[in-house]
């Protein structure tokens, strides 16, 4: 069984390629990749963040949202 969480977050995007993970270049730094790695560190399991929007390189955001499913146990 999974627990679904809504997260609300803000960020300064100056040092990021954008909000979404880039499939064409997995080595670029995105907000999604950083948030997923952070959740994985806490829950000790891979997670997939589902974003509610996108931003371009260097763009900042206030009160952006995403959902993440956390496995129980």
Report the alpha-carbon angle 54-47-25, nearest 5.
50
Report the alpha-carbon angle 49-26-22, nearest 5.
60
Q: Distance (Å, rounded) from C-alpha 6 to C-alpha 29?
A: 22
Q: Which of 28, 56, 57, 67 is catalytic?
A: 56
Q: Is 56 a catalytic residue?
A: yes
Task: Give catalytic residues, as residue numbers.
Answer: 56
């Amino acid at each position: 069984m999974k627990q679904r969480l809504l997260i609300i977050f803000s960020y300064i995007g100056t040092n990021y390629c954008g909000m979404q993970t880039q499939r064409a270049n997995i080595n670029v730094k995105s907000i999604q990749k950083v948030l997923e790695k952070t959740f994985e560190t806490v829950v000790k399991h891979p997670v997939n963040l589902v974003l509610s929007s996108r931003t371009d390189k260097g763009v900042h955001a206030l009160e952006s949202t995403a959902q993440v499913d956390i496995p129980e146990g």
